[in-house]
Structure formats: structure tokens, C-alpha cells
């Protein structure tokens, strides 16, 4: 005979989830019985329990959607940064003295900043 069978991690996780689910069902049953003790009809207690379960599911889904949007936004920002050219380039224009006086000139000698011609 071989030794005891070793349970896989997936089986252990599944058994843990099943125990947690059964625990939640027991708590829901306790809530319904508690409501019936207060005079709420059994149908009303069942509807309240289902509404509570539905609201928890909606909250979990909304949280997961917000988390997915944050992850998607960070991914898009990362792709934008990765594709952008953030290297430093020397400017094509510079401040210097030229034919029209001191100003901003391009490499080929044209002045591009606004200036005033004063005839004295």
C-alpha cells in the first residue's frame, strides 16, 4: 500500500473556500432567525438576507472595477513614458548679438523674438 495521499495546494484552497462559504451561510441563517425573533416575517427576513448578500457583491464588484481602472491608468501612463523622448536636446535657438541687435536667433541667423525697430 502506498502512503497517505498528499493534497494539492488547489485542493486545500478549495476546501478553505468551502469552509468559509459554509460559515457565511451559518451566519446568514443566524441573522434570519434573529430577525424572525424580532417579529419580522420569515419571507421578509429571507429578502433582507438576499439584499444584504446582493449589496456585498455590488460593493466587491465596484471595488474591483475601480482597482482595474487604476491599474489600467498606471499601465497607460507607463506606456506613454516608455514611448516618449525625454532625452535632453540642445535648443535650436539661442540668445545672441546679431544683425538686428541682441535677441533670439535661429542657427541660420533669423531673429525670431518680437523686437521694436527704433530709428534715432
Q: DSSP letters of 61-89?
A: HHHHHHHHHHHHHHHHHHHHHHHS-----
Between residues 90 and 15, which one has the greater pLDDT?
15
92 inside domain: no
| Per-residue confidence (pLDDT) for residue 107, from 0 to 100 | 80
Contacts 24+ apart (CB under 8 A), 93-100: none
105 inside domain: no
Average pLDDT score over the chain? 87
Supply φ then ψ for residue 94, to 5 degrees: -150, 160
109 inside domain: no
As a whole number of angstroms, the distance between CA 42 and CA 36 comes to 6
114 inside domain: no
Give the pLDDT confidence of 23-82 residue by residue, as tens digits.
Answer: 999 999 999 999 999 999 999 999 999 999 999 999 999 999 999 999 999 999 999 888
| Per-residue confidence (pLDDT) for residue 77, from 0 to 100 | 94
Number of domains in the chain: 1
pTM over 0.85: no
102 inside domain: no
As a whole number of angstroms, the distance between CA 51 and CA 35 comes to 14
45 CB neighbour count, 10 Å cutoff: 19
Structural domain that includes position 30: 9-83
> What's 94's DSSP letter?
E
pLDDT confidence tier of residue 84, bands split at 50, 70 and 90: confident
pLDDT confidence tier of residue 120, bands split at 50, 70 and 90: very low
34 inside domain: yes
4 inside domain: no
96 inside domain: no
Amino acid at each position: 500500500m502506498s502512503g497517505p495521499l498528499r493534497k494539492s495546494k488547489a485542493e486545500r484552497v478549495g476546501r478553505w473556500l468551502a469552509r468559509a462559504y459554509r460559515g457565511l451561510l451559518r451566519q446568514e441563517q443566524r441573522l434570519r432567525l434573529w430577525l424572525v425573533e424580532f417579529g419580522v416575517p420569515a419571507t421578509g427576513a429571507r429578502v433582507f438576507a438576499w439584499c444584504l448578500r446582493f449589496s456585498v457583491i455590488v460593493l466587491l464588484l465596484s471595488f474591483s472595477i475601480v482597482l482595474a481602472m487604476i491599474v489600467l491608468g498606471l499601465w497607460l501612463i507607463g506606456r506613454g513614458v516608455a514611448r516618449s523622448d525625454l532625452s535632453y536636446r540642445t535648443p535650436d535657438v539661442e540668445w545672441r548679438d546679431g544683425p538686428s541687435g541682441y535677441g533670439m536667433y535661429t542657427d541660420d541667423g533669423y531673429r525670431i523674438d518680437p523686437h521694436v525697430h527704433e530709428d534715432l
